[in-house]
Structure 1
Amino acid sequence: MALQISYGDHENVVEIVDRVRYCLESISLSFSEWNSPRIKGPGVYIAVIADRQYGEYADIMGKNQWPISQCMSVYHEDAFYDACETVCLECDGGVVIAVDGQIEPTMVRFRDLGTVPSENGSRIKTVNYKPWMGARHMSAIETSVRPEVIATITLSEESGRVSVFRDGEMESRSRQQIATEWRAD
C-alpha cells in the first residue's frame, strides 16, 4: 500500500494557504490607489504544490525571483509580507510554495491546462471562467486542477480581488468583501 497524504485537508497545508490569502488581503487593503487612473496595483499568482518537480508543467520566468535572502518561508510573517509586497509590485510570474511552507526562488509561468492528459488519457477536468478573469486568474484556476497543486491564490492588480482556487473551484472576494468580519471601515 502506497503512502498517500491528503494535502488539501492537511492542517499545516491549510494553514499555509490561509497565511498566503491573509497576506494578499492585507496587501490589497493597504494599497490606497485602486481607483486612480493609469496606476497599476499590486498583483501576484501563488501556487502551493506537493511536488517540487514542477518543471514538467512550468517554465522559468526570466530573471524574476522571489527574494529568498529576505524570506524563505511563509512562516516568517513580517518578512513574508514584505517580500510578497515587493514581488506584487515589481515581478511577473507565479510564485511556488511547497507544502512545508518553503518558497522557491524561481518564479514561473504555468503551462496551459490543455497540455496535460488525465490518468485515463482524456483531458483534465474543464474549468469555468468568470467574466472578470484575466490571464492570471484563468491560469490559476487551470493550474489548480493539476494533481500536484493543492491551491492557487491570486491578487488582482486591477481590482484588489483575492481568489483561492482548489481543484477548479473558486473562492473569491472583491476588495470590498475582504476581511469584512474584522474591518473597521
Structure 2
Amino acid sequence: MSRLTIEYGAHERVSEVVDRLTYCAEHISVAFDGWEEPHVKGPGLYFAVVADRGYGAYADAMGDNRWPREDCASVFDEDAFVDAAGTVSVERDGGIVVAVDGEVEEQMVRFRDLGTRSGESMLVDDVSYEPWMGSRHMSAIETSVRPEVVATVTLSEETGRVSVFRDGDATSMRRNEIGGEWRAE
C-alpha cells in the first residue's frame, strides 16, 4: 500500500498561490516611485509558502510584527491582499508564512539558517548564492530547500527586485524587467 502524497510544487492551486504572491510583490515594486532616491528604503516583502503548519521548528516569532488577518486572511482576497501586503511591506519586518491553501498566518517570523536542526547540513549543498543577494534573499533561498517549503517570494527593499525561490533555484527580475512588454511606462 502506498502513502498518499501531494506534489505541492506542481499542484495547480499551490502554483496559483505562488503566482499571486509574485504578482503582488511586482505590483508593489512597480507602484513605488522612490527607488532612484538616495538613502531611501523601499517596500520589502518575504513570503514563504509552506506545506506544514509546524513551521515553528525552523522559524522564530518576530516580536509584535503581525500580518493583519482581520483585514485579509487569504491571498485569494485579491484587493484586500494587495492592500495588506502594501502596508506590511513598509511598516513591518519578517517573513510572512502562507499555507498551501492560501491562508496567511498572523505571526511574522524569522526563518532560521540551515544547519540549525539535525539533518539539515546536507541541504546547504543545494544552495548557491548570487552576488545580488542580500540577507533577505539568502534566507529565502535557504528556506526554499526545506522539504516543508514549496517556494519563497521576495521583494528587495533596496532595488525593487522580485525573486521566486524553489528548491534552491532562483528566478529573479529586476524592477525594470517586471511586466515585460505589458508594462506601461
The residue aligned with 2:97 is 96
Distance 1:21 1:138 in 2: 17
Residue pair 1:48, 1:98 contacting (<8 A) in 2 also: yes
Q: TM-score, normalised by structure 2?
A: 0.96
SS state at 2:19 partner: helix
The residue aligned with 2:160 is 160
Residue pair 2:48, 2:95 contacting (<8 A) in 1 also: yes
Distance 1:123 1:117 in 2: 10
Residue pair 1:116, 1:123 contacting (<8 A) in 2 also: no
Distance 1:38 1:145 in 2: 33
**1:83 aligned partner, one-letter code:** A
The residue aligned with 2:132 is 132
Post-superposition CA distance 1:154-183 (Å, at most 9, x none): 000000000000000000000011111311
Q: Show structure 2 runs of 5+ residues with no match.
A: none
Distance 1:2 1:145 in 2: 22
Residue pair 1:74, 1:103 contacting (<8 A) in 2 also: yes
Q: TM-score, normalised by structure 1?
A: 0.96
Distance 1:19 1:34 in 2: 23
Query: Where does structure 1 differ by over 6 angstroms across 4 or more consecutive aligned residues?
Result: none
**Aligned: 1:123 with 2:122:** yes
**Percent of aligned pairs with the same amino acid:** 62
Q: Show structure 1 runs of 5+ residues with no match.
A: none
